[in-house]
Amino acid sequence: MPGFSPALPFHMNSEDGIALTKTMMDVIKQNFKNLVLTNPGERVMIPEFGVGIKRFLFELNNQETLGRVKSRISDQAKKYLPYISISDIKTISDPDMFDAGAVNIKILYSVSSLDYSDILDLHL
């Protein structure tokens, strides 16, 4: 069965050789995850691309930092993935997770042209 793009992270399967994304919903989710995890300056020829979410991990756990995270995600999605509508961004602020330098972010989003909604769940 043909696919749209290589599935990330790259891996092999018996059907396609290199595993491929099979639906537009898979492509959208993969592109959104890529946008959130990419650090600004990593993308060739587009230095402002990316949220760089991991750089926020060791900042203070307060409302100001969480506000900057949410703002950065929203701004980048509007610029590079304008077909996505973000309805909510939730951060799980478990003190044990922050002591370990980890955070859980859930981004609720939808694509109205496909009548599709999903959650991007990141454990960093």
Q: For residue 17, is it within any domain?
A: yes
Domain count, the chain: 1
pLDDT of residue 2: 79
For 86, 108, 117, the CA distances from 71, given in Å and listed in that order, are 11, 14, 20
pTM of the predicted protein model: 0.85
Mean pLDDT for the chain overall: 88
Other CB atoms within 10 Å distance of the CB of residue 56: 19
Q: For residue 92, is it within any domain?
A: yes
Domain of 18, in residue numbers? 12-123
What's 114's domain CATH number?
3.10.450.40
Q: For residue 70, is it within any domain?
A: yes
pLDDT tens, position by position, 1-36: 578 888 888 888 877 688 889 899 999 999 999 999
Q: For residue 3, is it within any domain?
A: no
